[in-house]
Homo-oligomer: A and B are copies of this chain.
Amino acid sequence: MSDIFFISIFDTNYNMFSKASEYGIRAAIHLAHLSKKGERCSLRQVAKAIDSPVAFTAKVLQLLARDGIIVSFQGPTGGYEIPKESLSLVHLSDIVKAIDGDSIYNGCGLGLESCNEKKPCPLHFQFKSIRDELKEMLQTTSVQELAKGLEYGMAFLKR
C-alpha cells in the first residue's frame, strides 16, 4: 500500500533552517545583489523580491540590522543596505547565528543534553561529521558570492 494512505499526525516538513533563517538568508542575498549596485531597498521591496510575509520579514531584518549585518535607515528614502566594504564579509553563518543563535554549533543530533566527545550518544560521530560540513559551508559561503547567481538569471529567490 502506498505511503500516502498513512496520514500521520507527525507529517512535518523537514527544514534544515527555520523559516526566519530562510527569509533572512534570502533577504540578505537580495540586499547584497542591490547593494553591489549601490541601491537601497525598502522592507516592502525586499518582501516582494523574496516572496515573504512583510511583517515577519521586518522582524528578521531588524535582527540582522541589530547585529550589524545589514544597515537600516528610517524615514523617506529609507530601507536596508549592506555596506559595500562589508559585502564580502557577510557569511551565511552570521545570518543564521543572528536569527537562530549558535545552538547549531552545540546541539546533539538525538537531543541529548550531556552528549559530547567523551560521553557520546550512539550517533555522535556520524552526526558530527555532517554538522561540521554544514558549519564549514555556512562559514565559507558569502552572500556576495550567492548574489552572483542572481545576476544572469541563473538563480532565483521566489517560490
Contacts and interface: CB of A to CB of B under 8 A. Distances in A.
Nearest to A159: B113
Given A126-B137, A156-B119, A12 B131 contact: no
B18 A12 contact: yes
A20 B14 CA distance: 12
Interface in A74-128: 92, 99-104, 107, 109-114, 119-124, 126-127
Interface residues of A, number: 63
Contacts of A129: 133, 137
B59 A9 contact: yes
Nearest to A143: B122
Given A141-B126, A157-B121, A110 B22 contact: yes
Given A11-B101, A13-B103, 13 more contacts: A10-B100, A12-B20, A12-B103, A15-B107, A16-B109, A19-B111, A25-B110, A29-B122, A110-B157, A113-B159, A121-B156, A122-B147, A127-B137
